[in-house]
A and B are shown apart, each in its own frame.
Chain A
Amino acid sequence: MVQDATVKTHVKTTINGELVEFLVEPYRSLLEALRDVLGMTGTKEGCNDGNCGACTVNLDGRIVDSCLVLAAEVNGKQLNTIEGMATPEGLHPLQQTFLEEAALQCGICTPGFLVAAKALLEKEPHPSEDSIRFWLAGNLCRCTGYDKIVRAVQKAAETPSKGSK
């Protein structure tokens, strides 16, 4: 091996409320750790340089591009990904309104948009169209022209929360 496998870093973190431990090379990104080490492939890779937002996750209450975060950095932190958005009781209101409003076509950018939009609604429960567009400007979608995504977020903001996380 080119890299010495013995120098993997031990990471202990909380993902979607569950304690997770894994070993990872120190140079690997959080995106690689999620997808390749943990098999959590809901977080998508679009560019691997922080420009498309497909890999957006929530790290200690802040949305980040997981391709720009080192896996080792999440040690001791709270991480939330698309996999944690729905509960056995049902979909998150945003997931529901994305379906109802046809806010996805191919769906590859959708997990990133949902994680980002959830953070927006937690910060600003009733955002204006301008706020939604500004907040989501870090997430690229090439299919929808954003119209139905913005409408889905607006609709979710009007949906009373059913206590889903």
Chain B
Amino acid sequence: MVATDKQPEYKVLGTRPIRPDGVDKVTGRAQYGADVRLPGMVYGTVLRSPHAHARIKSIDTSKAEKLPGVLAVITGANMPIAESKDVEAGEEVANYRDDSNRVMAHDKAGFKGQPVAAVAALDMNTALEAAKLIAVDYEVLRPAINVDEAMASDAPIILEYLVGDHLGEDVPNTNIAKHARHIFGDVDAGFKEASVVVEREFQLSTVHQGYIEPQNATAFWNNDGQLTIWTSTQGAFWVRTSVAGILMVPTSHIKVVPMEIGGGFGGKIGVYLEPLAALLSKKCGRPVKMQMDRKSVFEATGPAPAGKVKVKVGVDAKGKITAATADVRYEAGAFPGASIGPAAGCIFAPYKVENTYIDTYDVVVNKSKSAAYRAPGAPQVAFAMESLVDEIAEKLGMDPLEFRLLNASQEGDRRADGPKFPRIGNIEVLQAAQASPHWQSKLEHNPSNGKLRGRGIASGFWFNGGMKSSVNINVTTDGTVTLVEGSTDIGGSRASISMQAAEVLGLRMEDVHAYVADTNSVGYNDVTGGSRTTNTSGLAAYNAAQKVVTTMTARAAKLWDVKVEELQFEDGAFSSKSDPELKLTFKELATKLDQTGGPVGETGSAVGVSGAGGFGTHIVDVEVDPETGKVDVLRYTSVQDAGKAIHPSYVEGQMQGGAAQGIGWALNEEYVMSGDGAMENATFLDYRMPTAYDLPMIEAIIVEVPNPFHPFGVRGVGETPIVPALAAVANAVHDATGARFPQLPIKPGRILESLAAKNGS
């Protein structure tokens, strides 16, 4: 680890204890959403549109309703007309009217797989049989399944009620939900100073988060109007808000119980089944459980947007970037909301560029609505920019890492979307990459096996989500504490949050018992997403622990009949500054709470500060088989600024997992779409994610440049790890083959075509 700013000596932070939920997860005892079993529970399923774009002329559910064992059938007619209002949904912006239509088509299907009806029955097979008996009369419409088709002048209008925001102007009858522009400096002047200007267009395919656990929801709408939802979600409080908005019921009538979650990566923020299970339960009076099959997960949950990114960069004779422009067009899916804002914030973030001009377009197409996927919007633009930077460095005859160091952004520099950077670790990350054993090693480009080897490097940035968190800490009379939090634990956050409380309280992590609570049992918490949880829920835990210390100090003062100001809390013990006789450990004082006023419990709340963010640089060696076009990843190093790595193992885990997803995105993964908008590879066999056999060990080098907005210096670490990976791999394949790959994935066919073109055959 490379720590650059001075750090205090920590006792708990930086150690690697076993996570609190670990034993349950290695024994199969942990309860995930699909594991819910309730008395009287029945099963629900969804009938989905077979067409990507179709008007629903009529739906006849009578046959299904008559099937013995069927308890309830709902269609769009059962959905209230929700308010059209944009609301912050963690990493996304949601609109209740769009979401209502998205979870159940009202009068039109905008993507293949969109729900058109749902059934609850005594058992799943009866529900599935009943769904087949529902007759839907469709008027099939011409779809537009990519940005070019949807932006064409004769494009079919997908969302008729949409009023586009085109540079602040309201525009009806459009598929462009938003056109936003970010301008700083004078790009024309900047390009005039340049001695080298390169412009390229890059194309991205639709990819999926690929979490292993399918979406699920179980709901029970009680006779008193109270609705309880058990679900696998990144944000129980957002599910509550969202279901309340879609079903038009008061938030206070809904309790959401977050079950363990089997991966999300941004894809389990939006609701899918929750409102349907709720309506079915209301209709049949019993708990209704629903679960997606894998095909529906691919077709009908939120993939990351495909699209096009055009980038132009000018560089002067010394290698300094003088100007940069970008045109980013992302597929929103059937409803607005592609991640164009973060794209603008991330595309040039690793560089100091005075003159920038960015156009972004959020384009409605006939696919499932896109969702956040690990640094939503950033990997796509980083692929474009970092591929271009590699090409420019090559043109200038410069080492690509030296080029990045020469142009690296640092504190005080401005991002292309406005904010100025506070203390960031971009340069320190590049220096650590430069000093790494991997970068220092030599690569044999033409090994004796006849294959082609290459090395690539790329950088990337992601923000630090911030947002809101609340944590309760209760002192137990044996001297331990319970920590009640509302952030879903996707990858070890019970550990990273409770370790911060333990550090404040002078306890071991094992003495802080962490629980993820339902929405009735803890204050509001935003989603586990945006690289915010260890940062901001950790900050809430820090605040709660500080309040516990204050209260416990007062208890000690009462016990000893001295003034609070005379006492101190150091190394887990309360003591008098003047009288050495007066000293009690946290544990000892905890046994005396009854004598000093009763139980101690405190709430800590926090609003995290966004903006400090994290930078990463990846180095990768690949071997390309010129006979088959197959790419093997030989060696991979991920370097990242974590601010302060609370639990280094789980920070490394984020870095390794993000790299693996990025390798998949670069080399294999894509939705293979038919012309009429059907995904033709909706299984894990055909949507090929990396397996253990596809990957090498992934070296993780953690850099620690403390975040100035967090008491322990924590930066978000979850999302940056995927951002540089796509371009790092593409640059390595270029180094091996001499060919550039402006379109992902870099599949064997594309490599063979490039090699053939190069060899003139």
Residues of A within 8 A of B (CB): 1-3, 25, 35, 39-49, 51-52, 54, 81-83, 85-86, 91, 95, 98-102, 104-111, 114, 129, 132-134, 136-151
Contacts and interface: CB of A to CB of B under 8 A. Distances in A.
B260 interface: yes
A51 B683 CA distance: 8
Nearest to A148: B653
Contacts of B22: 99, 104
Nearest to A5: B123
Taking each of A51, A85, A129, A137, which has the highest tally of chain B beta carbons within 10 Å of its own beta carbon?
A: A51
A132 B693 CA distance: 8
B649 A101 contact: yes
Give the size category of B's interface with A: 35 or more
A8 to B, nearest CB: 12
A139 B261 contact: no
A45 B685 CA distance: 15
Interface stretch (B28-36, B112-120, B531-539, B569-577): B28-36
A145 B695 contact: yes
Nearest to B495: A102
A1 to B, nearest CB: 5
A72 B402 CA distance: 64
Interface in B123-157: 123, 125-126, 129
Contacts of B34: 35, 41, 44-45
Given A108-B212, A136-B692, A143-B263, 4 more contacts: A45-B291, A95-B27, A136-B691, A147-B698
Contacts of B18: 99-100
A100 B16 CA distance: 8
A43 B491 contact: no
B351 interface: no
Contacts of B684: 46-47, 49, 51-52, 140
A131 B587 CA distance: 49
Nearest to B213: A108
A31 B125 CA distance: 15
A138 B652 CA distance: 24
A3 B34 CA distance: 24
A145 B27 contact: no
A142 B210 contact: yes
A26 B645 CA distance: 52
Contact of B697 (A3, A39, A150): A150
Interface string B242-266: 0000000000000000001111110
B126 A105 contact: no
Interface in B654-707: 654, 656-661, 683-685, 689-695, 697-698
Contact of B26 (A41, A81, A91): A91
Contact of A106 (B67, B211, B214, B294): B211
A104 B25 contact: yes
A148 B294 contact: no
A1 B69 contact: yes
Contacts of A99: 18-19, 22-23, 26
A98 B26 contact: yes
Contact of B31 (A41, A133, A134, A136): A41
B330 interface: no
Is chain B's binding surface mostly helix, strand, loop or mixed? loop
Given A41-B28, A45-B214, A51-B684, A102 B697 contact: no
A51 to B, nearest CB: 4
A44 B32 contact: yes
A42 B491 contact: no
A86 B684 CA distance: 30
Contact of B492 (A86, A91, A105, A134): A105
B685 A49 contact: yes
B126 A2 contact: yes
| Chain A binding surface, main DSSP class | loop
A25 to B, nearest CB: 8
A3 B654 CA distance: 46
Contact of B650 (A40, A44, A102, A140): A102
B212 A141 contact: yes
Contact of B653 (A35, A49, A51, A144): A144
A102 B212 contact: no
Contact of B294 (A41, A46, A149): A46
Contacts of A133: 692-693, 695
B209 interface: yes
B212 A54 contact: yes
Contact of A146 (B263, B685, B692): B692
Given A99-B26, A106-B490, A146-B692, A2 B67 contact: yes
B68 interface: yes
B28 A82 contact: yes
Contacts of B658: 145
B399 interface: no
Contact of A107 (B210, B262, B293, B654): B262
A83 to B, nearest CB: 5
Contact of B25 (A1, A35, A48, A110): A110
Nearest to B662: A145
A162 to B, nearest CB: 16
Nearest to A132: B692
21 contacts: A1-B126, A2-B67, A2-B129, A42-B29, A49-B294, A52-B212, A52-B684, A95-B26, A95-B27, A102-B647, A102-B650, A105-B657, A106-B491, A108-B211, A109-B212, A138-B691, A142-B210, A142-B661, A144-B656, A144-B660, A145-B690
Which 9 pairs across A and B sit closest by C-beta, in order of nearness? A42-B28, A108-B262, A145-B660, A107-B25, A102-B649, A145-B656, A105-B491, A51-B684, A82-B28
B372 to A, nearest CB: 15
Given A95-B26, A140-B691, A108 B263 contact: yes
A143 B491 contact: yes
Contact of B657 (A82, A145, A151): A145
Residue with the highest number of chain B CB atoms closer than 10 Å, among A82, A106, A114? A106
Nearest to B29: A42
B37 interface: yes
A80 to B, nearest CB: 12
Given A51-B684, A102-B16, A145 B293 contact: no
Given A3-B125, A141-B212, A49 B683 contact: yes
A143 to B, nearest CB: 5
